[in-house]
Structure 1
Amino acid sequence: MKETGLMFKAPLVRAILSGQKTQTRRIVKPQPSAGKSFQGWVISSSGGKHDGKAVWGAGSGHFISESERARCPYGKPGDRIYVRETWCRQVDEDGFLLDAYWYRASTPDVVNSEDGEKSPWRPSIHMPKHVARIWLEITGVRVERLQDISHDDAMAEGMAWDDAIHDFQKTWESTGGDWDANPWVWVIDFKRIEKP
């Protein structure tokens, strides 16, 4: 079973904690060549299920050797994701580090010193697996163009009801994503599980 860490910003962490977010999109790297379309999945010989490897091609009638393949680096159904988020270690009154942690999504105004300075937050990229408090199990993986997101999927991404697709576009762009490029993305469905 594969375990992969994925970074999430604080609002999305809160959406996962509330049960509102059950899906995430990540750019396929490298992107298939221009003119290629998604053809299907490489099916494993055991159980007849796809193994997380997508195939792009130029259309029907082409040999698979002319296609491009990409394995989802985040896993396949049954694999686990641990949420990497902004965090810091708690400090006792004498300034000693404790084996306990604060998470910015839940405690943004934590103070850990008498002079009122904020705690030394660490970015999500530096979060080790043992510090992660949120664990997810992948329940589905597929690929699609970014702008093909449906209203229901935008809701599963943790967006508000009224204009979920527009809200998702703004969230995507706020993380440095290019909505207009309309890249191929991995669509990963998940459910929250207990920390192993």
Structure 2
Amino acid sequence: MVRAILDGRKTVTRRIVKPQPDFVVPQADSSKLPVVGKCTPDDEKHGRLAKSLWCPYGHVGDRLWVRETHMRVPHPAEFGFTKEMLPHTWDACCEVAGTFLYRADPCSDLVADGRQWTPSIHMPRAASRITLEVTGVRVERLQAITHEQAVAEGVHRIDIGSGYRPRYSAAQTTWQEVVEGTADAYEDARLAFRDLWQSINGPGSWDANPWVWAVEFKRIEQERKVA
């Protein structure tokens, strides 16, 4: 969903609370979750507040950096080229050397020209171009998500013209694909988010209706990264 963050469509993310609490104490928005232990005679947590779970995805005011699939642009000298060998392109190649390409950008595969992408898990901090500031944290059931919150999760919006309600899809979908029946799209963004959630967390993960951290954020603008 990197593209959705860059486009300003995604401003919240939901992550499963681990471990799932047996009972949650109702409270206002917070990154701290008081939980009650099982009421069994042999359980050390019997009949009292056992502990508080802290949101591992940050607290209000924290800044997070986002990893994404990327590629470092090499210097031509790394391939044995010299300025004499590339008189017309040397300066341009040197200017972009050390910067990064990102898979989420349009035409990224064309620009990469067959070179291998580096998985997001291996992205160094210096390569990250997206910094997020946490603006809100709360705990809720997954299925408590509203239409507005599902839109804020970045589901793809399909506008079909004036006078018609937009449709929402878990993936980037065209109206033609919807008409032809080759893609799913819904008037309720919650259903599109349900499809998105299950594509990430597996079949049945929506019906399980787990407790989730809902982490809201805003993007902090930053300059282009150079290695």
Return the TM-score normalized by structure 1.
Answer: 0.75
Distance 1:69 1:150 in 2: 26
Tell me the residue number matched to 1:141: 137
Q: Which amino acid aligns with 1:125?
A: I
SS in 1 for 2:117: coil
What's the offset of the Cα at 1:93? 4.1
Cα distance, 1:109 vs. partner?
1.2
Q: Please list every run of 5 or more consecutive structure 1 residues that lacks an aligned counterpart in the other structure.
A: 1-11, 42-48
Q: Kindly indicate whether the alpha-carbon contact (under 8 Å) linking 2:36 and 2:48 is maintained by their aligned counterparts in 1.
A: no
SS in 1 for 2:139: strand
Alignment of 1:117-196 (within 5 A): 118-159=114-155, 160=157, 161=168, 162-177=187-202, 178-195=205-222
Rounded Cα–Cα distance in structure 1 between residues aligned with 2:146 and 2:189:
9
Q: 1:31 is matched with which residue?
A: 20
Q: Is residue 137–residue 190 contact of structure 1 (8 Å, CA) maintained in 2?
A: yes
Answer yes or no: is the 8 Å Cα contact 1:39–1:56 preserved in 2: no
Distance in 1 of aligned mates of 2:65 and 2:117? 19
Hey, what's the Cα distance between the residues in 1 that align with 2:74 and 2:193?
Answer: 37
Residue-by-residue CA offset, 1:3-34 (whole Å, 9 max, x unaligned): xxxxxxxxx1111111111111111111112x
- Deviation (angstroms), 1:70: 0.8
The residue aligned with 1:13 is 2
Q: Separation in 1 of the partners of 2:3 and 2:61?
A: 23
Distance 1:167 1:144 in 2: 19
Given that 2:133 and 2:217 are in contact with CA atoms closer than 8 Å, whether structure 1 keeps it comes out as yes
In 1, the alpha carbon distance for the partners of 2:27 and 2:18 equals 17
Partner of 1:103: 102
Q: Secondary structure at the match of 1:174?
A: helix
Secondary structure of 1:37's counterpart equals coil
Distance 2:34 2:127 in 1: 36
- When the two chains are superposed, the root-mean-square deviation of aligned CA atoms in Å is 2.8
2:58 aligns with 75
Distance, in Å, in 1 between the alignment partners of 2:4 and 2:147 is 17
How many Å separate the matches in 2 of 1:125 and 1:95?
25
User: 15, 35, 45: which is aligned to 1:56?
Assistant: 35
Larger-gyration structure (1/2)? 2
SS at match of 2:53: strand
| Counterpart-to-counterpart distance in 2, 1:187 and 1:173 | 17
CA distance in 1, matches of 2:101, 2:207: 37
Distance in structure 2 (CA, Å) of the matches to 1:90 and 1:134: 18
> Sequence identity of aligned pairs in percent?
49
Tell me by how many angstroms 1:111 deviates: 4.3
Cα-to-partner distance string for 1:38-69 (whole Å, 9 max, x where unaligned): 4337xxxxxxx95x2111237xxxx9943442
2:25 and 2:97 mapped to 1: Cα distance? 49
